[in-house]
Structures are given as structure tokens and as C-alpha cells.
Structure 1
């Protein structure tokens, strides 16, 4: 199918833009963002958008955790003749300046959530190593990802409450990915549910005033990762930014006595780099999390990323995060706000993580799902 996008340059295959990844239905492009204050306020903003050209679908989610309540909005539309528009109903992403400045808006809608926010990069973007995986001779995942740190400006309204967002106080992260993604279905209402054994993983983004560090670690045996990608940025005295690549990481995690799921209390990480001295980072899990099930990660009550819900469809809800039934649905996958200490510097960031049954360490939390 031809669209207006085909009048622009940028084709990389002898096919229209509406066909991507050799026509594989799994081909996905995603945006993801978080924003959180660094003064201890129990607030966390999350948003994302998915583009599925071979399914003729775009979907999006946004929400805010306030204390122990999580407010959620999600929507889906068919691409039709508007594949260029990164918008779904009242939600829109604008790339004001690539790799530098993005604008996110959600106009008034029945969810009671609205916002106008601008992300400005605080460090350069980091390209992760290609995430390629085969199973039984078939490509299960082949994904490129870029991550970046930044500061936020604007406002958020939730349930009649307005929060002003200023860059000195609101730090955050974003990522951008494209390629073939494994579905990792965890929605019990739409089986079969994927089962996971014998691994630990974390995708974490740590930010300090003059440095930042992103890490993606997957391992089945402690100290022997089958996937490791990470970058450290440091702002030098002359204003330039240097970077090093992570080549190894050691971890020791203390898990909270959370009766409802996997929750990191504290952690010690030691990073080795391609050059220079190692770096130790202490993690302290703060109370605030946004559970990504609300954005259809793994599927939620029959709605999975890329599902065709018609020309336009939207839903919203509010989750009580102390409710056992809600947490059972939400499972583990979440953006967890983390306070950090490293060589006298204090920082903040986000950690996503999980440990599956059979991994030799961290047996306690394995009674809960890893994702």
C-alpha cells in the first residue's frame, strides 16, 4: 500500500514504507518515556507509543503513579492513510529536534489524565548492541534500541490535580527501538502464557548531575551474561562528554519483603569498562513504580501490543497498588524509581528487572513471576 510517506526520502528496501521488516507482522517501532521528581515526591510519569506497519496499527499508553495509585490511559488506532502521524486519539509525540528535544501531549479526555511535556536530552544517546536471538532455528528477536537521559518541562493533570514539571527537579529517560520483538505474553486471559526459567535480567538507566549509565543485562549463570550492553557518559570540566562501554558487571541484590511481588530493596553493582577504572553504584529502591501491564506489555485482559481494536479504541483505569488482585494482574515488569550513590555522588533513575525460577541466586522472589 502506498502512503504519503512514500513521497519522502528514506526508503531502505524496494518496498513501500507501509511494508517493513520484510513484511513480518512482528516488526515494531516503539517510543518509551519516564519522568520523575528527585525531591522524594512519590510521582512517576510513564508513556509510550508503538507502530506496527505490517498490522496497520498504532497504539499508545500514558499514566502517572501518585503514591500507591496508578492512573492509566491507553489507546489504539488503525494507520489508514496517516502512518506518518505519531498520534493516537488525544495522545501525540512530536520530534522537535532528533536526539535532543521531544514533545508529548495528551489533551483532555475521559481518563482525567492530560499533559503537555517536553523532554530535552541531558546526555548523548546510546545505541545498544543488537539484540538478536534464535529459537529452534527461527529468529525470535532482532531488535535495535537507543536510550537517552534528559530533563522535563511542562505540566501534568490527573484527576483534577495539577503538577508543574521543571527540569531542575524532573529527571527522566527515554528509549527508541525498532525491529522484530518477541511477544513475551503474560496475559492469563489470553493463553498460552509464556513461561520463563533460569535467568536474571535488568534494564536500568542511572543518572547523576554530571554522569549517566545505562545497562541491559541478561544472564542464566551469575557473572556469565548471554547479553550485556551498557554505556557510561561523563561531562568533563571543559563541557565535553566522554563515554565508556560496559564490558562486565557484578551484582548483589537485596529483595524487599514484598508479599505481592518482586521488589528490589537495595543493590550493589560494580561495572567494568573498556578502559579506565571500574565504578561502583549503590541502588536504593524507592516506593514509586509504574507497572507496564497498564501499557499492554505482555498483554492486558486480552489486549496485546499491535492488536487491531478498530479505527479507534481507548480505555482507562485506576489501580490500587496495595490491592493483591491488582498486583497479581500487574505482575513484576515495571519502571521502578531508584535512588543511587556512586563515589559521593547522588543520582536517580529507573530499573526494570526480574528473576526467574531456577536462577542460582535470589531464590526468595522466584515465587513470583519474573515478568
Structure 2
């Protein structure tokens, strides 16, 4: 299909902008952002937008966890003749300055959540190692990903209260990915559900005033990652930033006695590098989390990422995170706010994690799903 975007530079193939890569319907571009106050106030903002050119769909979510309540907004639109406008209904993303400033707005809607916030980079963006995976000779995933730490300014309205965000007190992170993305199907309302076994994974980002760290690790045996991408950024006295890439990593996690799901109580992560000392991070998870099923990760209520819901569709709900049925449906995948200390510095970040049945090191959390 020909659109007005085809009058612009930037084609990557001999096809039109309406087609990406080789036409695989799994081709996805995604944005993801989180923001949280550094003083431990129980607030967490999660925002995401997905673009599926070969399905003709763009969808989005925005959510806020306040204490033990999670507010979710979800929307979807058909691309039509305006495929590259990063907006779905009341939610809009604006790249004010690439890898520096992004503006995120959610206008008034039925969820009661609205905001106008700007992500401002605090460290350079880190390109993760390509995630390429085959299964039975077929490409299951071929995905590029970029992670970046930042600070936020603007305002948020939730539960009738207006909160001001300032860079000194609201920190966060963003993620940008594109390529063939493996589908996750863990929706009770749309069986069959995928089953996962014998692995540990974590995708985590942390920052202090002068140090930033990102890590993505997957293991089937503790201490032997089959995928590892990690970076450390250290701000120098002259304002420049030194970067090191991790060559190995290890973890030691104590699990909370949470009767409703997998929850870290505390953890130690260590990143090793070709040169210089390791980076050891002590993690203290806080109670505040956003469960990503609220943003359709794995699907929720019969609706999954990339589904064509017609010209426009939206939904919203509020979850009680102490309710057993809600937590069963929300599963494990979440953005969990953590305090971090390293080399006498303190900071904040986000950790996503999970342990699947059969992973030898951590047996206790395996009674709950890893994703």
C-alpha cells in the first residue's frame, strides 16, 4: 500500500513504508518508558507503543501503579494512510531530540490517568547485543534493542491528584526495539497458553548520579548465560562518560515469601569486564511494581499485541494487586522498582525477572510462572 510517507527519505527495502523487512507479520517496533520518584513514594508510570506495519496496526498502553492499585489504559488503531504517526487515541509520543528528549502525553480519557511528561537522557543510549534465536530451523526472534537511562519533568494526574515531575526527583528508563519479535501467549482468555521451563532471566536498569548500568541475561544453568548484554556508564570529572561492556555476570537472589507470585526480597548482581574491577550492585526491591499484562504483554482478556481491533479501540481497568485472582492473571512479568547501592553510591532502577520450572538454583519461586 502506498502512503504519504513514501514521499520521504528513509526506505530500507524496495517495498513501501507499509511493509517492513520481508513482510513477516511478527515484525514489531516498540517504545517503552518508566518513571518513578527517587524518594520511594509508591508511584510508578509505565508507557508503551507498538508498531506492526505488516499487520496494519499500532497499539499502546499507559499505566500508573499507586501503592497496591494498578491503573491501566490500552488502545489500538489501524494504520490506514498515516502509518508513522506515533499516536493512538489520546496517547502520543514525540521525539523532540533523538536519544536526548522525548515528550509523552496522555489526554483526558476514561481511565482517569493523564500526563504530559518529557524524558531527558542522563546517560548515552546503549545498543544491546542482537537477540537472534532459531527453533527447528525457523527464525523465532531477530531483534535489535536500545536501552537508555533518564530523568523526567512534567505532570501526572491519577486518582484525582496532580503530581509534578522534576528531573532531580523523578528518574527512569526507556527501551526501543525493532525486528522479528517472538510472540508471547499467556492469556487465560485465549488458550492455548505457552509453557516455559528451565531458565532464569533478568532485564534490569539502574542509575546513580555518576553511574548507569543495564543488563539483560538469560540462563539455563546458573553462571552460564546463553544470552548476556550488559553495559556500565561512568561519568568522569570532565563531564565525559566512560562505557564498558560486560563479558560475564552473576547473581545471588533471596526470594520473598509472597503467596501470590514471584517477588525478589534482595539481590546481588555482579558484572565483569575485560579490564578493570567488576561492578557489584546490591538491590533492595520496593513494594511498587507495574505488571506488564496491563500493557498486553502476553495478552489480556483476549487481546494481544498487534491484534487488529478495528479502526480504533480502547479499554481501561484498575487492578487490586493484593487480590489473588488478579495476581494470577497478571503473572510474573513486571517492572519492579529497586534501590541500588554500588561502591558507596546509591540510586534507583527497574528490574524485570523470572524463574521457570526446572532451573536448579532457585526452587522456591517456581510454583509461579516465570512470565
TM range (shorter): over 0.9
User: What does 1:71-220 align with in structure 2 at a 5 Å threshold?
Assistant: 71-220=71-220
Shift of 1:269: 1.2
Give the match for residue 302 of structure 2. 302
Q: Deviations over 1:255-292 (max 9, x none)?
A: 00000000011001111013211111101110000000
Q: Deviations over 1:59-106 (max 9, x none)?
A: 000011000001110100000011121000000000000010000000
Give the match for residue 331 of structure 1. 331
Assess if the C-alpha contact under 8 Å between 2:299 and 2:305 holds in 1: yes
Shift of 1:228: 0.2
Whole-angstrom CA distance in 1 between matches of 2:247 and 2:18: 38
Q: Which consecutive unaligned segments of at least 5 residues does structure 2 have? A: none
Whole-angstrom CA distance in 1 between matches of 2:159 and 2:151: 24
Equivalent residue pairs, number: 371
Shift of 1:188: 1.7
Give the match for residue 343 of structure 1. 343
Q: Which consecutive unaligned segments of at least 5 residues does structure 1 have? A: none
Shift of 1:40: 1.2
Q: Which runs of 4+ in 1 moved over 3 A?
A: none
CA-based RMSD: 0.6
Give the match for residue 22 of structure 2. 22
Shift of 1:109: 1.0
SS in 2 for 1:218: strand
Shift of 1:159: 2.4
Whole-angstrom CA distance in 1 between matches of 2:274 and 2:85: 40
SS in 1 for 2:153: strand
Give the match for residue 266 of structure 1. 266
SS in 1 for 2:294: helix
SS in 2 for 1:59: strand
Assess if the C-alpha contact under 8 Å between 2:230 and 2:271 holds in 1: no
SS in 2 for 1:14: coil
Give the match for residue 231 of structure 2. 231
Q: TM-score, normalised by structure 2?
A: 0.99
Whole-angstrom CA distance in 2 between matches of 1:4 and 1:40: 46
Whole-angstrom CA distance in 2 between matches of 1:169 and 1:324: 33
Q: TM-score, normalised by structure 1?
A: 0.99
